[in-house]
Amino acid sequence: MKSIKQILKVFIFIVIGCTPTAVDKGEPISERIISEMSIKKQPVPEKIEETEITGKNFVRVGILENELNVLFSYSGLYSIYSGDKIIFTKKRSTGSWKVTSKDNEIFLENTETGEKITVDKELIFKPEQISSYVRIGKIQSGKGWHWEQTKSRSYKGNIEFININGRITVVNEVGIEQYLYGVVPSEMSAQSPEEALKAQAILARTNIYSKIGKKYKDKPYSLSSDVYSQVYTGLDNISDKTSKAVDDTRGMVLTYGGKPLEAFFHSVCGGYLEKNDIIWGGNTLPYLESKPCGGSEDFKFGDLSKENNFRKWIDSRPDSYCNIEKKGLNPGLDFTKKYFRWELKVNRKKLESTIKSTTGTDIGDLKDISVLGRGPSGKAKSVIITGSKTSITINKELNIRKKLGKPPLYSANFYVEKNKTGKNGLPEDFIFRGAGFGHGAGMCQIGACGMASEGRNFIEILDFYFPGSKITEIDK
């Protein structure tokens, strides 16, 4: 308890961060299927109250980086600063503003009235009303993934435009609970059962404390707004149900050995969870296990790292928490059923060109793709692609998925079949038969929904996916 408070104090004042659009960001910690969720476009909610933004309980989130110009508008009263210098106090505005930068300066121009402001290095907008928010144009997220999109988004809290090497970085400094209101519905469908949303809220809060200070040390923010920290979309997806999950778990984080743990989660495991070292390498975390996602007693497929067992498992629809066929969940979650077991048929020529673009190697005619090694969940650890000119071996879960698909394959739990061999002796199509969506470590989100539908609460859900962990309360 004490150590968490200490960590909090240290972290909160550290200013570090990440980039939503940069290439070298490592691997996403979460994968979600939110883009397919049927969230209705909602007006910006006025009743969501900002938690303290001037106290210590805030985070700095990178919204945009390396931009030549940024368009935005704002609603309500704002005071505007550049460093300690006050530019305006309690200013209201109409129309949109354009921010550009050159050398060390930042230029702000109202695109309707022509009003102009020029300042050095940074421009900070501080809200003077609870209802004030800034709406920023064209925020790109999920580049290269199934959920890639570009949208305008609204944010409460401070908005900073910072000139870094002549380009603009946008940072949102926001109260932790307000930040979580914007994270939970971005990472999990609001149609999910309450107990599953509470578990997600605790993981999202845990991620703040386990991530801050580790990445983005040379950036003016501490978390990205994308999957490389956790997805934060400001006000636009907020719903009463997800905000209630944040409120009901206020201050709770998941710890192991007294420290916030690595709160991994993924969309659908496909029926078998995987350990972190099989997916990313490194040391095995003691609170992650390779085990069936429910129904351990009845698991009859044996060791899934053995090809025959694995194929039988893929070709079946085993009873598990994330097999929601008979769980009676909200029909809004039905779209996730297609990830439990999936099939992807790809024409050979198309796959050859995908492999050429993802690996940079011309393998010639694609003859075969086979999995050389599997982890305990059957997850491919190594794959060999055999071509007429050359063969390539690819390793590691996400790398395998990215090299074989654009967007990446849903998961690395797959086997490959060849279809219709032509006169040239080459297959016409390759068929990937797979299970699950995401990396498979930590909490299976749809599995959590399945558990909740069976009457389990958030404590039982987190205990199942993170055995040996504890829910610890930090400063509320």
User: Between 223 and 435, whose beta carbon lies closer to Zn ion?
Assistant: 435
User: Between 322 and 333, whose beta carbon lies closer to Zn ion?
Assistant: 322
User: Between 329 and 444, whose beta carbon lies closer to Zn ion?
Assistant: 444
Query: CA of 471: how far to CAs of 122, 153, 358, 461, in Å?
Result: 39, 32, 42, 12
The tokens describing 125, both together, are 């907008």
Closest by CA position to 72, among listed 141, 157, 159, 191: 159
Q: Binding pattern to Zn ion, positions 364-403, x when CB under 5 A?
A: ----------------------------------------
Angle at 446 between CA 445 and CA 449, to 5 degrees: 95
Evaluate whether 425 touches 388 at the Cβ level (below 8 Å).
Answer: no
- The Cα–Cα gap between 70 and 264 comes to 33
* Residue choice 170, 201, 238, 293 for contact with Zn ion (CB under 5 A): 293
**Contacts with Zn ion in 421-450 (CB under 5 A)?**
444, 447
- The Cα–Cα gap between 399 and 406 comes to 12
Closest distance between Zn ion and the C-beta of residue 108, in Å?
48
The tokens describing 443, both together, are 């909490």
Helices H, strands E: what count in the chain? 11, 26
User: Between 61 and 203, whose beta carbon lies closer to Zn ion?
Assistant: 203
Binding residue count for Zn ion, defined by CB under 5 A: 5
Residue with tokens 């990178």: 62
Closest distance between Zn ion and the C-beta of residue 309, in Å?
18
User: Between 291 and 356, whose beta carbon lies closer to Zn ion?
Assistant: 291
Closest distance between Zn ion and the C-beta of residue 271, in Å?
6
Q: Binding pattern to Zn ion, positions 241-270, x when CB under 5 A?
A: ----------------------------x-
User: Between 175 and 271, whose beta carbon lies closer to Zn ion?
Assistant: 271
Which residue stretch of 91-99, 186-194, 242-250, 321-329 sits at the interface with Zn ion (rule: CB under 5 A)?
A: 321-329
322 forms part of the interface with Zn ion (CB under 5 A): yes
- The Cα–Cα gap between 15 and 221 comes to 5
**Contacts with Zn ion in 296-315 (CB under 5 A)?**
none
Query: CA of 334: how far to CAs of 129, 196, 228, 326, in Å?
Result: 40, 16, 27, 11
Closest distance between Zn ion and the C-beta of residue 191, in Å?
17
Count CA within 13 A, CB hemisphere, residue 347.
3
Closest by CA position to 222, among listed 212, 208, 207, 234: 212
**Contacts with Zn ion in 1-30 (CB under 5 A)?**
none
Closest distance between Zn ion and the C-beta of residue 258, in Å?
28
452 forms part of the interface with Zn ion (CB under 5 A): no
Closest distance between Zn ion and the C-beta of residue 136, in Å?
36
Q: Which residues bind Zn ion (CB under 5 A)?
A: 269, 293, 322, 444, 447
